[in-house]
Each structure stands twice: as structure tokens, then as C-alpha cells.
Homo-oligomer: A and B are copies of this chain.
Amino acid sequence: MPEAPPPRLDEIDALLLDLLQHDADRTLHDLGERVGLSPSAVQRRIARYRRDGLITRQVAVLDPHRLGPTVLATVLVTLDQESFEHHRAFAARMRADAQVQQCYRVAGPWDYVVVLASRSMRDCGRAGDRLFKADDNIRRYETLLVFDTVKTGLALPPPLP
């Protein structure tokens, strides 16, 4: 079991991680200046975050509407049969689909919240059909079309001290 206890982080770690979560292509020199460390010390800390699996990857964030027409939607989904196997199959399908940006299994009357990214309204409808309508194990789903993205990102709040 590779489930190591979360490594403990000092204040500099919190600072560094916060910086990296918002802008990961600063130089080690720049980062070092901001947190009061030398570039090599910063480099070693970051290497440790990677080893520990704390930083899983680094990604480029695109502006959806610069890429062309874009339609975002959040979809609330309730499965019919709740068996383990059905859940597994549903999750696998979400993971495999390029238009599914995020998918969370949630508590309450809805089973899943899905964030869908499409290139047109029509494309969005077809994604919904493909992902939810074609699946006869889905009891109900509701599509909430996104008018406006107020805030986006994957940043996590700093650990409680």
C-alpha cells in the first residue's frame, strides 16, 4: 500500500505550493526570492513534492473561448441500479471521454456531478445523448448550461496550521 502519511509541511512549503498552483512556470530563482531560499533549495523541495506524489502533474490551462466556440455545462446524474459494477462502468466511461472535464461522485439524491466541455450547443447535446441517454442505467439527468465562468482552477486551500 503506497498510502504514506501526508508529509508535514512548513510555512515555506505552503507558500511554494500556493505559488506553484497558480503559476508553475516561474524560475527557481524567482520562487526562491519570494520564499527566501536559494534556487537549489527550492528545486529540492519541489523534487520532494513530486516524489511524495503531492504534485501529480503540471498542466497548461487554455482559454476556452480562444480555442473557438465553446459550450460548458454541468450535469447532475442519478443512476438507476446502484450496484458496484454499474458505478464502476459509469466512472470508466466518464474517464474515457474527452468531453468530460471533471466528474465527482456525490452524496444526496444526485449520484454524480459532471462538467462537460463541448465545441457547440449541438455537440453538447450529442455528448449528453452519448454519455447519459444511451445508458439505460441512468434514471435521470439534468443539464445546467454554463452562461459564464466566474472562477476556474484546481487550486486547493493551504493546509490548516
Contact = CB atoms under 8 A, between A and B. Distances in A.
A74 B153 CA distance: 14
B68 A157 contact: no
Given A105-B150, A110-B144, A156-B117, A60 B62 contact: no
A79 interface: no
Contacts of A67: 6, 9, 17, 54, 156, 159
Interface in A42-57: 52-57
A64 B79 CA distance: 26
A112 interface: yes
6 contacts: A56-B63, A62-B156, A68-B159, A101-B151, A104-B147, A118-B157
Nearest to A55: B60
Interface in A68-107: 68, 70, 72-74, 91, 94-95, 98-107
A72 B104 contact: yes
Contact of A147 (B24, B61, B99, B106): B106
B59 A154 contact: yes
B56 A58 contact: no
A20 B146 CA distance: 25
A55 B59 contact: no
A53 B61 CA distance: 10
Given A107-B145, A108-B144, A153-B154, 17 more contacts: A7-B66, A24-B24, A24-B59, A53-B66, A54-B67, A58-B61, A102-B149, A103-B151, A104-B144, A104-B146, A104-B148, A105-B146, A105-B147, A105-B148, A106-B144, A107-B146, A108-B142
